[in-house]
Structure 1
Amino acid sequence: MLSQKARYAFHAMTYLARKGEPASVAEIAASEGMPAKFLEQVMAALKAGGLVASRRGAGGGYRLARPAVEISFAAIMRCIDGPLALAPCASQHAYGPCADCKTPEACEIRQVLISVRDTTALLLEGTSLAEMIGGRKISFI
């Protein structure tokens, strides 16, 4: 399930992509109807993840760290919520055995979880922030 923090991150990132110039947390929060205090945490995580950059002072604020076409939805989700996989044994970026699993190779559900991860990653990696704000209809078929 998409966390509220990730929802705010998507809204903030799309706002910055549409605006095309730096914006303050207060401006983004007011425009997108988000609590500024919580948005500060979201923006700090996005900055730590290399997705936004910031500058203090007049004309400062947050801006995208690279062009919107180079920022995938998967990058935003991973930055905020961590791996896309539903279980650690199916993760490519944060692999680990499940606590109750005897061996990953013998697990009956692991292959399904890997397929879900691969399908999710295909769609999210293939959708950029620029495509989303451009109104592209996302279709898997």
Structure 2
Amino acid sequence: MITQKARYAFKALIALARAGETGLAARDVAAREQIPQAFLEQILLDLKRAGLVGSRRGREGGYFLARPATDITIGNVLRLVDGPVAPLPCLSRNSYRPCADCSDEATCAVRHVFAEAYDATVAVLDRTTLADSLVTAGTGDMAALGA
């Protein structure tokens, strides 16, 4: 399962993608998406540090996508917010470490059971973009998404 923080991050990114270049104030995203504003602001700062969103100050200010929605993958966001997505540390591509109770990965039945499912999941997460998720949901305007 993904964390509530990741769910809120996806909701915020989708709201910003829908808003296009004009962006949205954090309070507007919080109200529209029913996200506690203080928590949302922490999430937006993390997304900004990662280069996924930008911000403008002032009366017309707010947050906006810093990259096209076609360049932001679901897998990248999920790893950024929740950390490794692998069900076992020995399967992780970015945070690999051997399991403490395993003497031989090549013959580990647990690893082999989860490896195929993990590979399929990661393939979907890493090829699906924010723009894809909007189009799939029937809300995508490809021009506004940077496509």
Fold match by TM threshold 0.5: yes
Instruction: After superposition, give the CA deviation of every residue in 1:53-73 in whole Å (9 maximum; x if it has no partner).
Output: 222223222111110011111
Residue in 2 aligned with 1:65?
66
Asked if 2 retains the 8 angstrom alpha-carbon contact of 1:24 and 1:62, the reply is yes
Instruction: After superposition, give the CA deviation of every residue in 1:43-101 in whole Å (9 maximum; x if it has no partner).
Output: 12212222112222232221111100111111111110111211111000111112322
Q: List alignment gaps of at least 5 residues for structure 1.
A: none
Residue in 2 aligned with 1:17?
17
Q: Output the CA distance in 2 between the equivalents of 1:29 and 1:16.
A: 11
Q: Output the CA distance in 2 between the equivalents of 1:132 and 1:70.
A: 12
Residue in 1 aligned with 2:31?
30
Q: List alignment gaps of at least 5 residues for structure 2.
A: 139-147
Is 1:104 paired with 2:105? yes
- Give the superposition deviation at 1:111: 2.3
- Change in Cα spacing, 1:98 to 1:9, as seen in structure 2 (3 Å) is same
**SS of 2:128 mapped into structure 1:** coil
Q: What is the RMSD of the two structures over their aligned residues, measured on CA atoms?
A: 1.6
Instruction: After superposition, give the CA deviation of every residue in 1:20-63 in whole Å (9 maximum; x if it has no partner).
Output: 02212111000111100111121122122221122222322211
Residue in 2 aligned with 1:49?
50
Matches of residues 83-94 of structure 1 in structure 2 within 5 Å? Answer: 83-94=84-95
Asked if 2 retains the 8 angstrom alpha-carbon contact of 1:78 and 1:84, the reply is yes
Q: Output the CA distance in 1 between the equivalents of 2:46 and 2:131.
A: 21
Q: Return the TM-score normalized by structure 2.
A: 0.85
Give the number of equivalent residue pairs.
Answer: 137
Q: Highest relative contact order (Cα 8 Å, sep 6+), 1 or 2?
A: 2
Q: Output the CA distance in 1 between the equivalents of 2:97 and 2:51.
A: 25
Aligned-residue sequence identity (percent) comes to 45
Q: Return the TM-score normalized by structure 1.
A: 0.88
